């Protein structure tokens, strides 16, 4: 028996409590990506999960069970005994696991689950979980020649039809590699979430824009894009189909990101995407109000340079004109104003552009580029939220669900 004070538990909930109280089974099969599972188990625990590892005999040849025992703080199940471990964790019992995650999953194990064979601890756990209605997530990993085998493809399709969630592997260097740990964690969060945005398409702008002075220099602002990214993550976890428009890249492969640079490019990209039928637009991006004529060559140093700034059309105004029924969340940033003034200015853009919600903050007090912020979420009511941008994103999405 491993004591409950095992040092493995020291990191539990260090990142967030989003998986706190959630017992989950991490099944590991004989892929070389099994070496990633120590990090994966630890990351799930940082989100609060209680992780129990199960290994196939082939997985044991790649990584020693003691590594997983160290990582999870629990005995690793490498064979089934009289304790009937598969029923204990995944049978029809009140305290059964919330989720069965098979990562990495070999072509062999996918084939066995699809045909109902269970001759390893992993396949027996999968059979039991399927029978007792525990959600299953499979993250395949194999050589690309195995992944493109028509029967492997057919098996995956069949298992998807049975309700098993498949993670897209990273197609790199001729291999279908295990999805990234970040992607696996948000997929697990999505599967376990209440999914109150299921079926909704949400477009989110994030970060600052940049206006080119010349081929090298730009005019930009201090917005980091963290709020937009946290909103995208939260909307995805809550079941939405999410797309980002930003001067940056998405850390999650399941959240597509369109790269733009200038204010005009961001406006054009948003208008273009909205033609494709989104339900919601969320606009935390700090879009430049001005642009500048770009000098074709590098401007020379040493003499005074005058820039003539020209106003750019307001994205939110154009969007509202073209999409009168779209649900829009606007953002209003002010500096060093009273709370009353901040809220009244936010209400005036809300009325002007018929916004469904406005998130207002006084960036004179901080927030830009930081991990924390203090905001007012304004609809018919006013909600004051101070804390991490992740927590703020949760409250904004709660408010969105309320207006949809």
Ligand X SMILES: Cc1cc2nc3c(=O)[nH]c(=O)nc-3n(C[C@H](O)[C@H](O)[C@H](O)COP(=O)(O)O)c2cc1C
Contact footprint for ligand X (CB under 6 A): 29-33, 56, 58-59, 62, 106-109, 120, 141-142, 146
Residue nearer to ligand X on the CB measure, 76 or 377? 76
Residue nearer to ligand X on the CB measure, 55 or 385? 55
> Least CB distance from residue 108 to ligand X, whole Å?
4
> Least CB distance from residue 30 to ligand X, whole Å?
3
d(CA 404, CA 399): 9
Q: What is the DSSP string of 101-112?
A: EEEEE-HHHHHH
Residues whose CB is less than 8 angstroms from the CB of residue 161 and which lie 6 or more positions away in sequence, other chains included: none
SS3 265: helix
> Least CB distance from residue 289 to ligand X, whole Å?
51
Residue nearer to ligand X on the CB measure, 8 or 141? 141
Residue nearer to ligand X on the CB measure, 116 or 133? 116
Residue nearer to ligand X on the CB measure, 104 or 207? 104
d(CA 262, CA 205): 12
Residue nearer to ligand X on the CB measure, 146 or 318? 146
Say if strands 290-292 and 23-28 run parallel, antiparallel, or are unpaired.
unpaired
CB atoms within 10 A of CB 18: 20
Distances (CA, A) of 197 to 10, 19, 109, 283, 395: 34, 19, 32, 18, 14
d(CA 350, CA 16): 33
Tokens found for residue 323: 């999409």
> Least CB distance from residue 328 to ligand X, whole Å?
45
Closest residue to bound ligand X by CB: 30
> Least CB distance from residue 56 to ligand X, whole Å?
3
> Least CB distance from residue 86 to ligand X, whole Å?
15
């Amino acid at each position: 028996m491993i004591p409950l004070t095992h040092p493995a538990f020291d990191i539990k909930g260090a990142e967030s409590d989003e998986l706190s109280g959630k017992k989950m089974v991490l099944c590991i099969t004989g892929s070389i990506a099994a070496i990633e599972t120590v990090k994966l188990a630890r990351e799930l625990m940082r989100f609060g999960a209680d992780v129990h590892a199960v290994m196939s005999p082939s997985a044991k040849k790649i990584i020693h069970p003691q590594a997983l025992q160290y990582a999870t703080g629990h005995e690793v199940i490498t064979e089934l005994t009289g304790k009937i471990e598969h029923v204990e964790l995944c049978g029809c019992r009140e305290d059964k696991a919330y989720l069965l995650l098979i990562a990495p999953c070999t072509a062999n194990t996918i084939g066995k689950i699809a045909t109902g064979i269970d001759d390893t601890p992993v396949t027996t756990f999968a059979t039991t979980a399927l029978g007792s209605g525990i959600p299953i997530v499979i993250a395949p990993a194999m050589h690309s020649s195995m992944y493109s085998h028509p029967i492997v493809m057919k098996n995956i399709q069949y298992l998807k039809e049975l309700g098993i969630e498949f993670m897209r592997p990273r197609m790199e260097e001729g291999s279908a590699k295990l999805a990234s740990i970040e992607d696996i964690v948000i997929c697990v969060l999505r599967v376990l979430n209440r999914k109150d945005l299921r079926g909704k398409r949400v477009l989110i702008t994030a970060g600052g824009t940049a206006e080119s002075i010349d081929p090298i220099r730009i005019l930009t602002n201090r917005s980091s894009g963290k709020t937009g990214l946290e909103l995208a993550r939260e909307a995805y976890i809550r079941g939405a189909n999410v797309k980002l428009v930003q001067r940056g890249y998405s850390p999650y492969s399941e959240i597509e990101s369109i790269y733009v640079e200038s204010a005009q490019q961001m406006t054009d990209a948003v208008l273009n995407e909205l033609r494709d039928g989104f339900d919601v637009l969320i606009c935390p991006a700090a879009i430049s109000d001005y642009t500048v004529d770009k000098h074709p060559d590098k401007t020379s140093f040493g003499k005074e340079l005058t820039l003539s700034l020209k106003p750019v059309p307001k994205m939110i105004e154009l969007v509202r004109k073209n999409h009168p029924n779209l649900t829009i969340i606007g953002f209003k940033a002010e500096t060093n104003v009273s709370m009353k003034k901040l809220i009244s200015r936010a209400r005036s853009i809300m009325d002007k552009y018929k916004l469904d919600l406005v998130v207002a903050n006084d960036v004179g007090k901080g927030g830009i580029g930081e991990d924390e912020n203090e905001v007012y979420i304004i609809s018919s009511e006013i909600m004051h939220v101070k804390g991490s941008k992740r927590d703020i994103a949760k409250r904004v999405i709660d408010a969105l669900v309320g207006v949809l």
